[in-house]
Structure 1
């Protein structure tokens, strides 16, 4: 959500409008006509037509035979560039893949980006069910994932409560913690444990554990490592999981410091 008070004095309206058109089209996989885009963005049809034509010329939207527009392949190129920028040196990806291969668990890196929590790199393991939600990008379920909890735990209580007020605490399962007080208690337990965890809070039949890689004074430099695994394995082998995560985190910290 945009903050009107944060609007820059030199805002270029045409750029802002073009981005709103992209957002509208991206949220509609079936495609939208120019008139539908205009209604959703609250623009005139003439303005929307010019914006859409420009975006189509640049490859950011595509016009289909039925007259609707969908996102173009240029978006995919920008996404790939974003993923490369997020994940850092190739050695980071190599180490994540090695950890995933050795344990069978999918591994993830996360950090703060622009005040939000994001997954920045991922390596799938064969013993973890595929999760489309945990791919590089913003993590809207920070309160329900171990990765998100590990970063939330680095905030002060006031900072964390403001974060939760802004982004909410959606109930993903019946086990999801949906109050700041319950989350605070859970994070404190994770600190004592030396590892943040969640069991069935994000998805039923799945657990996740996370540890810090870099805990810097600058929030944007903080990095966490998480892995997803079957709940029974986390409950029976929590110490083993923590030991492996900490070893991988130590290696990653060395790589990121180079």
Structure 2
């Protein structure tokens, strides 16, 4: 809530107030009453009432049967226009579905936003291991498989910003040493994939690979998250990398197109 207060105080404009209201919602609190919105956004109740009424009329907020408010579908429509929105998800979905069929566990697609990863798609089975990620959710780059992949291929200034820390510890296995993280990122670039074991949930292991765009730059990462017990992560690497190459090919990445052409020539 602290950042909401800072935003409201530093930017008293209407835009700042609206963003403060929208930022008051969270995974833990997806439905809020007017008084809760007023308190969390640090706005007078009268101002909150007026802005919430306008946002509800526009579809940015919706009235819950309990009388509270939640994020409306109109915001999802706007969010789908983002560069890493619908086009990326549509290109990736067939490959994510194939990857999901291999284990019926968690399959994810994520992009980099600042020093965090944002999950834009996730497929999860009924009996899949429980993890913290969700579509639209954020997690740190240093403690997730997709994050390690995205950070390894991020601009140097982004890498140095993360390495400067602090690196938050989520479990006893979380990488919190800048020197260790730097070595891991070098390994990811060299090997073409990342394995993150128990960094957030001790019983989960993630295998991730980069997705390239039309300029041969990494635009996203995919991962499969499975239970640590009874899993050899190396057995999942070929499937994850193949799915990532397939998505890269659909996105027009030259390296993926060349690889596909080379495979065709070998089979001719």
Q: Which TM-score band (shorter chain)?
A: 0.7 to 0.9
Deviations 1:23-58 (A, max 9, x none): 225564463334x43343333333222112222333
Is the counterpart of residue 241 in structure 1 residue 236 in structure 2? yes
* Cα gap change, 1:233 to 1:187, in 2 (>3 Å): farther
Deviations 1:175-204 (A, max 9, x none): 111232221122233344432111111211
Report the 3-state secondary structure (helix = DSSP H, G, I; strand = E; otherwise coil) of the residue aligned with 2:224: strand
The answer (yes or no) to whether the contact 2:198–2:205 under 8 Å persists in 1 is: yes
Is the counterpart of residue 57 in structure 1 residue 57 in structure 2? yes
Q: For 1:41 and 1:89, how far apart are their aligned partners in 2? A: 32
The answer (yes or no) to whether the contact 1:161–1:180 under 8 Å persists in 2 is: no
Aligned counterpart, 1:118: 118
Counterpart of 2:203 (choices 202, 205, 220) is 205
Write the mapping of 1:1-258 to structure 2, written as runs, cut at 5 A: 13-26=13-26, 28-29=29-30, 31-34=32-35, 36-59=36-59, 60-62=61-63, 69-74=68-73, 77-78=76-77, 81=80, 85-86=85-86, 88=88, 90-113=90-113, 116-125=116-125, 128-131=128-131, 133-155=132-154, 158-163=157-162, 169-214=167-212, 222-234=219-231, 236=232, 238=234, 240-257=235-252
Count of matched residue positions in the alignment of Structure 1 and Structure 2: 245
Question: CA RMSD of the aligned region, Å?
Answer: 3.6
Q: For 1:82 and 1:135, how far apart are their aligned partners in 2? A: 19
Q: For 2:97 and 2:220, how far apart are their aligned partners in 1? A: 17
* Cα gap change, 1:72 to 1:118, in 2 (>3 Å): closer
Deviations 1:106-143 (A, max 9, x none): 22222224664222222225674143x32222432321
CA drift of 1:169 comes to 2.7
* Cα gap change, 1:79 to 1:128, in 2 (>3 Å): farther
* Cα gap change, 1:86 to 1:178, in 2 (>3 Å): farther
Deviations 1:141-197 (A, max 9, x none): 32111110001111355431314558x532221111123222112223334443211
> TM (normalized to structure 1)?
0.75
* Cα gap change, 1:215 to 1:144, in 2 (>3 Å): farther
Report the 3-state secondary structure (helix = DSSP H, G, I; strand = E; otherwise coil) of the residue aligned with 1:174: coil
Deviations 1:195-231 (A, max 9, x none): 2111111211110111222177786x52222111222
Report the 3-state secondary structure (helix = DSSP H, G, I; strand = E; otherwise coil) of the residue aligned with 1:253: helix
Q: Which runs of 5+ in 1 are unaligned?
A: none
The answer (yes or no) to whether the contact 2:133–2:139 under 8 Å persists in 1 is: no
> TM (normalized to structure 2)?
0.73
Q: Which runs of 5+ in 2 are unaligned?
A: 254-268
Q: For 2:233 and 2:33, how far apart are their aligned partners in 1? A: 50
Report the 3-state secondary structure (helix = DSSP H, G, I; strand = E; otherwise coil) of the residue aligned with 2:23: helix
